[in-house]
């Protein structure tokens, strides 16, 4: 946001949209992807980058494809006709056919082998080290899986704010709060200690008053003798 020039409303909206997208979609998605990859489940990741389909009736989305719009391509021309009110372009129709074939391969085989139907790439299982995924968009061929750290370093850095830095700050704050609570708990008095403390305080005041009274009596007697 700091990089936006003064008066650049479009740039400000774009940065705010990217900020919201990182917090609500990209960071949680990557965290879930990493958790699944650490389990025994085979995970295959993709990024849908095809814009031009507005499911929400607004032209506000300026950060790329809208959330969930890949379902329009997966379920074909009937869905886009009923939801958006138009037909696929020729390029969009090719993408829709390719996506259906990919999903069908996963249903039949559980994976996507190399060069099925002439796609020209192999969709490899996701790994945290490579952070690999394929890109789905309208082109002559689908994009092969690529390594995200090499191509989107800044995006990965922004996501680390939500998945790494903020949780660490929260853990530090929580640990400090627990430490303070434990200290306060250790200083808490038992049920009879408050009364004992009050009693000892009153006894102390009484002793001090008695001492002052004795001193006053002695001084008065001395003054009386001096007058005689």
Tens digits of residue pLDDT in 47-96: 888 887 777 665 555 556 777 888 888 988 888 888 878 888 888 888 89
- pLDDT for 127 equals 87
- pLDDT for 159 equals 83
Percent of the chain clearing pLDDT 90 (strictly above): 0
Strand, helix or coil at 144? strand
The pTM for the full model equals 0.60
If one compares 129 and 148, the residue with the highest pLDDT of the two is 129
Confidence band for 21, pLDDT divided at 50, 70 and 90: confident
Tens digits of residue pLDDT in 121-144: 677 888 888 888 888 888 644 555
Residue 162 has pLDDT above 70, yes or no: yes
Tens digits of residue pLDDT in 94-105: 889 888 888 888
**Is residue 71 within 8 Å of 46, Cβ to Cβ?**
no
SS (H, E, C) 82-148: HHCCCCCCHHHHHHHHHHHHHHHHHHHHCCCCCCHHHCCCCCCCCCCCCCEEEEECCCCCCEEEEEH
Confidence band for 158, pLDDT divided at 50, 70 and 90: confident
Cα-based angle 129, 133, 134 (whole degrees, multiple of 5): 155
């Amino acid at each position: 946001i700091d990089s936006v020039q003064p008066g650049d409303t479009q740039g400000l909206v774009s940065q705010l949209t990217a900020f919201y997208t990182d917090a609500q979609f990209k960071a949680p998605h990557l965290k879930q992807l990493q958790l699944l990859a650490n389990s025994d489940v085979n995970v295959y990741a993709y990024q849908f980058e095809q814009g031009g389909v507005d499911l929400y009736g607004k032209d506000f989305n300026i950060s790329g494809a809208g959330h969930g719009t890949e379902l329009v391509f997966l379920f074909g021309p009937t869905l886009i006709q009923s939801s958006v009110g138009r037909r696929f372009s020729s390029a969009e129709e090719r993408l829709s056919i390719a996506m259906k074939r990919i999903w069908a391969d996963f249903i039949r085989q559980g994976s996507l082998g190399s060069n099925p139907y002439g796609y020209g790439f192999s969709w490899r299982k996701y790994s945290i080290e490579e952070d690999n995924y394929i890109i789905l968009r309208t082109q002559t061929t689908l994009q092969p899986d690529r390594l995200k750290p090499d191509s989107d370093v800044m995006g990965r850095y922004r996501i680390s704010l939500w998945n790494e830095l903020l949780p660490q700050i929260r853990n530090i704050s929580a640990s400090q709060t627990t430490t303070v609570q434990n200290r306060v708990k250790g200083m808490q008095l038992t049920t009879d200690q408050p009364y004992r403390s009050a009693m000892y305080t009153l006894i102390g005041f009484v002793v001090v008053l008695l001492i002052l009274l004795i001193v006053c009596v002695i001084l008065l007697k001395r003054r009386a003798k001096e007058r005689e």
